[in-house]
Structure 1
Amino acid sequence: MRGSDRTGSGLPAGALSPAERQATVHRLCAHFARDAMTDTELERRLDLAYAARTRAELISLERDLPALETEGHPAGPPSPASASVAVDPTRTVQDSDLIVSVWGATERKGSWIPPRQLTSISVMGGAELDFREAVFATRETSLRLLTVMGGVEILIPPGVRVEWRGVALMGGVTTPEPSAPPTPDAPVIRISGLVLMGGVEIVERLPGESAREARKRIRRARKARHRLGLGT
């Protein structure tokens, strides 16, 4: 056997090692996480990466993509970084507040400080509670709901943990699938109460993000984590 036909690892010259293939997959996912390609294009390139037989085939998959470098060091694969929302304990916070929607609609949004305990009563009406630009002064916020033949939409940013401990009778409650796990010290909104012939929808969105944009972002993040073997 001629030595020139083999690499130092024992593989034929030009053949791929599992580490090389996986490194390319990591970099493609990193490009995807930086919006350098669509989810359809990512799927196409990943299929080609797993089917590649030579190093040249792998290199061609990244030839038209921008460099993944920071301060002269190659960027690694996107990590399962936790989403973070800060708590500012220096802010003055109310102990309690009440929102009532009867045959009407009430909104709480923009830059506001959630109280320690917020009660929302919706009777044949609706309420929108938008926490995306809220300034949390306490780590835990208690949200008590009484929703009768009405609806409540709760918008939260990535990095806020939500816990539902209420009861729904002839009604429904939907909770979000987080795009990234909150940090251990993330703000927590503990929701309790009664939903009777009504609905409560808890949605994760970035400030200014539409529902469609949020679904696409979460789907992209989920696919990238799945490709990297980080779970869903």
Structure 2
Amino acid sequence: MTQEPHGAKYFPVPLGDQARATTRASTADREEANAFLSAAMSVGALTPEEYTERAGTALAAVTLAELDELCADLPMDRLGGAVVSGRLDTTQVSTSGAAPVTRVSGIMSGGSVGGGAVVSSHLSAVALMGGVEIDLRDVEFTAPVLTVSCRAIMGGIRIVVPDDITVEVHGSGIMGGFSGRGAGPGRPGAPQVIINGFALMGGVETERAARGQNIGPRRPN
């Protein structure tokens, strides 16, 4: 295997491919490499310290070969389920005809999802030394259950949910916080939101707010 076809997802290949040493990595490639690294940590193949170091290096990677080097020793046969759980490949058509948003990231910057955005059954949120804001109060749901997979590494993810939907929070914090105070039941027939993932030296916070309520910017603690 040499160069990936245009639009293909990044996947590690054995070291020594000269074509990949001269092929520049995209932001999506770096995010995919991070998905493999975080999956490796979730199964115990990398320590949190090793993951943090490699994730930072992946952020600055220029070529596909540099990403391959970071993933060369990972047990790929054990990572399949863990990687898939964090990906958003489901594409559904909404009543408005718009394609659903499946990924939001804040990599040394900020990212957001809200307003009239369309969401399907999965939404992946990655905050790496940055911030992500997800406001689900006015989005268009196209599936009865939305799973939000969060990875906050030295960054923060804030999720605002309407006060009439059912919310489950199953995340964990590693030298960070994963707040479940927004969890709780909703009205019968309303969508269900499941929030999972981890916060490594960062934070994930879920809060409820009524539709139309202006919650404004958060003040730093």
Highest Rg: 1 or 2? 1
Higher relative contact order (CA 8 A, sep 6+): 1
Q: TM-score, normalised by structure 1?
A: 0.48
